[in-house]
């Protein structure tokens, strides 16, 4: 279970939000909503330990994440909104590199399968620099198909630049993750139909 209490975030000299409380239990899908600039990405970065809160704390399985970093990172997958690819490497190489950096098991067969499932089978050996925006996005998202055993998925705008079919397939994969007891916390400006009941946290209500 992920627990957030009294969380406040300062960026530069501006307090973005304060007093955010949130609990995410196994099987839950939570959407962080709010207008541009309210601090959704900043909140996700605090949730996965990439930033320090000005106040409050984030706990995973009852332990503050800054006191059990390794265990927390093993249990967490964070996908930011930028594709973060090496343009000279292929999707297959990028995926295997990212998986290795995050301690995921990803042999060639598993990685090829993940790329096929995300619809990049035909492009898997091309240099990433020739991919379209949606295809670049998919390379990052392919990690989701290697992360069934990672319980907490924190996703920043995962549906951006995806076509209708890819949005539907990804929504089904997030539903499947929740159905097997996983947790998803995400931001999206799109209305995506999920089978899992979605809880929305409106960050504008905590804006300073």
- The single residue among 26, 37, 122, 134 that binds ligand ATP, judged by CB under 6 A, is 37
Comparison of 38 and 104: residue with beta carbon closer to ligand ATP: 38
Q: Strand pairing partners for 155? A: 79, 186
Q: Which two tokens stand for residue 58?
A: 């984030």
Binder among 4, 16, 29, 201 for ligand ATP (CB under 6 A)? 16
**Chain Cα centroid distance, residue 68:** 20
46-85: b or e for each residue (b if 16 or more CB lie within 10 Å)?
A: bbbbebebeebebbbeeeebeebeeebbebbbbbbbebeb
3-class SS string, 92-106: HHHHHHHHHHCCCCC
Q: Which segment (9-17, 21-29, 68-76, 147-155) binds ligand ATP by CB under 6 A?
A: 9-17
Least Å distance, CB 199 to ligand ATP, is: 18
Using the minimum distance from each CB to ligand ATP, give the nearer residue, 12 or 109: 12
138: closest CA among 85, 198, 187? Answer: 85
In the list 7, 20, 24, 42, the residue contacting ligand ATP (rule: CB under 6 A) is 42
Smallest distance, Å, CB 145 to ligand ATP? 25
We find the least distance from the C-beta atom of residue 81 to ligand ATP, in angstroms, to be 7
39 binds ligand ATP (CB under 6 A): yes
Q: Does residue number 40 form part of the binding site for ligand ATP (CB under 6 A)?
A: yes
Interface with ligand ATP by CB under 6 A: which range of 39-47, 61-69, 98-106, 132-140? 39-47
Q: Is 158 in the site for ligand ATP (CB under 6 A)?
A: no
- d(CA 200, CA 21) in angstroms, rounded, equals 13
The single residue listed with the structure tokens 């706990």 is 59
β pairing state of 198-202 and 29-33: parallel
- Binding ligand ATP (rule: CB under 6 A), the pick from 5, 11, 113, 175 is 11
Among 38, 98, 106, 178, binds ligand ATP (CB under 6 A): 38
Residue 74 and residue 150: Cα distance in Å, rounded?
7
Residues at the contact surface with ligand ATP, assessed by CB under 6 A: 11-12, 16, 34, 36-42
């Amino acid at each position: 279970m992920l627990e957030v209490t009294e969380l406040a975030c300062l960026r530069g000299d501006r307090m973005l939000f304060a007093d955010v409380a949130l609990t995410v239990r196994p099987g839950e899908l939570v959407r962080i909503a709010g207008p541009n600039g309210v601090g959704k990405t900043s909140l996700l970065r605090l949730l996965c330990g990439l930033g320090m809160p000005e106040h409050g704390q984030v706990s995973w399985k009852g332990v503050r994440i800054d006191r059990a970093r390794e265990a927390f990172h093993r249990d967490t997958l964070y996908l930011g909104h930028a594709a973060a690819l090496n343009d000279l490497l292929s999707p297959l190489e990028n995926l295997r590199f990212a998986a290795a950096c995050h301690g995921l098991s990803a042999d060639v067969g598993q990685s090829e399968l993940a790329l096929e499932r995300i619809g990049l089978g035909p492009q898997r050996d091309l240099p990433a620099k020739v991919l379209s925006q949606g295809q670049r996005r998919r390379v990052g998202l392919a990690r989701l198909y290697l992360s069934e055993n990672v319980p907490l998925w924190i996703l920043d705008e995962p549906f951006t630049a995806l076509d209708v079919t890819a949005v539907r397939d990804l929504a089904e994969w997030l539903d499947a993750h929740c159905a097997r007891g996983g947790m998803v916390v995400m931001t999206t400006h799109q209305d995506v139909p999920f089978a899992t009941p979605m809880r929305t946290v409106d960050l504008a209500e905590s804006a300073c």
